[in-house]
């Protein structure tokens, strides 16, 4: 149960980070602290999203606390899909 809740919290925090990044870019917020956190956390959070998706997907098949893991898969999957979509749009 501890792993399921931890994975869910990590997935939610990762998704909230990207929502925060989106809001700062849309409204062109240029706070100094916002820029520092943005630059320091961008690469780790980009790498964390697919890792959380894979871990949640693997744990989903272990049939323990499958509801928690299903929610984690959905949240991490949406975050990963949005990241891939943004990379595809920026390199096209």
Q: Crossing angle for the helix pair 66-91 and 32-60, nearest 10 degrees?
A: 130
- Residue of 39, 56, 60, 53 lying closest to 83 (CA atoms): 53
* Residues 80, 2: Cα–Cα separation, whole Å: 24
Burial 12-25 (b: 16+ CB within 10 A, else e): eebbebbeebeebe
Per-residue pLDDT tens digits for 25-36: 777 777 767 677
Of all residues in the chain, what percent carry a pLDDT higher than 70? Answer: 96
Where exactly are the structural domains of the chain?
Answer: 2-87
pLDDT in tens, 53-66: 999 888 888 878 88
């Amino acid at each position: 149960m501890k792993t399921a809740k931890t994975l869910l919290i990590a997935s939610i925090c990762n998704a909230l980070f990207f929502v925060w990044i989106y809001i700062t870019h849309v409204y062109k917020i240029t706070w100094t602290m916002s820029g520092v956190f943005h630059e320091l956390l961008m690469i780790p959070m980009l790498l964390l999203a697919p890792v959380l998706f894979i871990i949640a997907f693997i744990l989903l098949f272990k049939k323990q606390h499958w509801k928690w893991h299903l929610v984690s898969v959905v949240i991490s999957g949406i975050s990963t899909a949005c990241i891939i979509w943004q990379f595809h749009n920026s390199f096209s």
